Amino acid sequence: MDVKIKTALISVSDKTGVVEFAQALAQLGVKIISTGGTAKTLAQAGLDVIAIDSITGFPEMMNGRVKTLHPKIHGALLALRDNPDHIRAMETHDIDPIDLVCVNLYPFEQTVANPNCTLAEAIENIDIGGPSMIRSASKNHKFVTVVTDPSQYEKVTEQLLANNGAVAQDLRSDLARIAFGLTASYDAAISAYLNVKAGVEFPERITLSLQQEATLRYGENPHQSGAFYKRPNAIETSVSSGELLEGGTAISFNNLLDTNAAFELVKEFDEPAVVVVKHLNPCGCAIDDDIRMAYRKAYEGDVVSAFGGIIALNRKVDVELAHTIMESYSRYGKALGASGFFAEVIIAPEFDAEAIEIIRTLKSWGSRVRLVQTGPMNRAKLDVNEFDVRCIIGGMLLQKRDLVGWEPDQLTFPTKAKATPEQLADLKVAWLAAKHTKSNTIVLVKNKKVIGVGAGQMNRIESGLLAFKQAGEETKGSAMASDAFFPFPDNVENAAKHGIKAIVQPGGSKKDAEVIAVADAAGIAMVFTGKRHFKH
């Protein structure tokens, strides 16, 4: 059923495009009711506007807190036009129907995103009348059109012009569906803010508010559909806040997972750092004073696994770095046994325009690679209140994020041999890489470059053997990290056989004394962090 729009109520905080939308309605003969600042904006544009208080018979009061909460407004929105009792009630109480509501809400999330926002300011930016009108209009979308975002103006206007001033049922239903999602998201944002203010770590109810950014070609596998959602107004520099630069193939579900894994590890370092990730685990990670050398070291850590991987950098990609990345195979990889090289994604704080051109044109695969530009990294803006969410069938597990990094002041040194400054630098890289690698994890590092990774094995011995095998002769004199304590001395015994000179691990095992004794016998310097980094 089409519903002709005769009367519209417009009350918006975001006034983008509202004048043009109202002008289109006016040209179709629609009577316009409006409130406060919106009415002023429309009147200044030369539109005839009926003030809300002339409809309700009450002035806007209490600093605008009360203006639309009135039976003449909600009766006009909720009345069923095919119900005789409703029609009689409207006639008895002199209520004229409203056919279209154009409302967007007080900018609560934008307000609380300001670090200087006070609780009082936040409370004042909780919209009451707006969500009430949206819900009333949405409930009665059989007769009422609800418009909640400037992006909808064009579609509604086009239909009105093409349909003799009427809106079709399918569009009204779709707009109502979107509107209920908006009010749910709005309440979720308020609840989340108040929980943080109250110091409630895990509230009685959790509603996650996310906004669709893109539909994806498919999920993890082609038979699974997938989509990408973002948290509105997230404050932290991340893959989600990054800008996907033009060109390249559309980014995929797996690309996003791997890119997030790579970027979260590279964010751990203040020094110039590069991470290469394959299937959620780092196959390369290195730091250096020179970002180009850091890239080379990260790539050389595992040139075979780097094929088709994700490259994350914490420095700008300039012309020289672009050349280094694009020529990885011919410069370094071929001599080390790689059969070729390309990257699925390159993510960095910034790309020079000329560097983008080099990436896109120097090699054939460059036209397909996705380039994600995040802007400056700022560890002061880590979102400590964001949950790490894992889904299980029928539910979710929530935990606080693991934001523990390298804590020099918390380290203890239980062995006779003490780690040298050079070994501590390698242990730092190993420990942070292990934090971002699937458990059970053993990571080997030499000269601030990951040389071996054992990830995701059912026992830690196998993880160690994989890491030793990958590193080969380079294990001699290297540093080793374990994401959790050693329950037995076996991994340390294997480390000694392969020439490991320093180990970092949480400590805390019942057999710590035996583990330390084996390390002492081999002259290995061991460092305890006091914290583990399981990653399931």
> Measured in whole angstroms, how far is the alpha carbon of residue 462 from the centre of its chain?
34
pLDDT band at 196 (very low <50, low <70, confident <90, very high): very high
Res 334: pLDDT: 92
Residue 66 has pLDDT above 90, yes or no: no
**Active-site residue (options: 6, 31, 142, 279):** 279
CATH architecture of 3-197: 3-Layer(aba) Sandwich (3.40)
Q: What average pLDDT is seen over the chain?
A: 94
Res 300: pLDDT: 96
Res 71: pLDDT: 86
Residue 350 tokens, joined = 């910034």
Does a cis peptide bond (omega within 30 degrees of 0) precede residue 440?
yes
Pairing state of beta strands 226-230 and 211-216?
antiparallel
Task: Report, as an integer, the average pLDDT of 183-208.
Answer: 93
Res 184: pLDDT: 94
The CB density around residue 178, as the number of other CB atoms within 10 Å, is: 15
Cα angle at 281 between 237 and 515, to 5 degrees?
115
pLDDT (tens digit, 9 = 90+) per residue, 128-181? 989 999 999 999 999 999 999 999 999 999 999 999 999 999 999 999 999 999
Res 116: pLDDT: 92
Only one residue has tokens 């929530």, namely 398
Residue 147's H or E segment, with its range, is strand 145-147
Share of the chain above pLDDT 70, in %: 100
Residue 62 has pLDDT above 80, yes or no: no
User: Quick check: is 230 catalytic?
Assistant: no
Residue 10's H or E segment, with its range, is strand 7-11
Q: Is 259 left (phi over 0), alpha (psi -120 to 50) or beta?
A: alpha
324, 296 contact by CB (below 8 A): yes
Rounded to a whole number, what is the largest CA-CA distance in the chain?
A: 96
The angle that helices 319-326 and 291-300 make with each other, rounded to 10 degrees, is 10
Pairing state of beta strands 525-528 and 502-505?
parallel
Share of the chain above pLDDT 90, in %: 88
pLDDT (tens digit, 9 = 90+) per residue, 447-456? 999 999 999 9
Does a cis peptide bond (omega within 30 degrees of 0) precede residue 63?
no
Where are the chain's structural domains? Answer: 3-197, 238-380, 408-528
Alpha-carbon distance 137 to 209, whole Å? 22
User: Quick check: is 533 catalytic?
Assistant: no
CA dihedral 488, 493, 495, 498 (to 10 degrees): -160
127-131, 309-313, 316-320, 419-423: the lowest-pLDDT one: 127-131
Res 380: pLDDT: 80
Radius of gyration of the chain (CA): 30
Closest to 372 (Cα-Cα) out of 341, 346, 339: 346
The set of residues, in sequence order, having a beta carbon less than 8 Å from that of 8 and lying 6+ positions away, is 22, 25, 30, 31, 32, 33, 98, 99, 100, 101, 102
pLDDT (tens digit, 9 = 90+) per residue, 287-315? 999 999 999 999 999 999 999 999 999 99
**Active-site residue (options: 139, 142, 316, 323):** 139
The CB density around residue 262, as the number of other CB atoms within 10 Å, is: 30
Same fold for the domain at 3-197 and the one at 408-528? no
Task: Report, as an integer, the average pLDDT of 29-35.
Answer: 93
Res 57: pLDDT: 78
Candidates 3.40.140.20, 3.30.230.80, 3.40.640.10, 3.30.830.10; CATH matching 408-528: 3.40.140.20
Q: Please tell me whether residue 306 adopts helix, strand or coil conformation.
A: coil
Which three-class secondary structure string do you get for 327-386?
CHHHHHHHHHCCCCCCEEEEEECCECHHHHHHHHHCCHHHHCCEEEECCCCCHHHCCCCC
Give the predicted TM-score (pTM) of the model.
Answer: 0.91
Res 233: pLDDT: 80
Res 55: pLDDT: 83
Residue 247 tokens, joined = 């060109």
CATH class for the domain made up of 238-380: alpha beta
Alpha-carbon distance 322 to 175, whole Å? 46
Q: Please tell me whether residue 477 adopts helix, strand or coil conformation.
A: coil
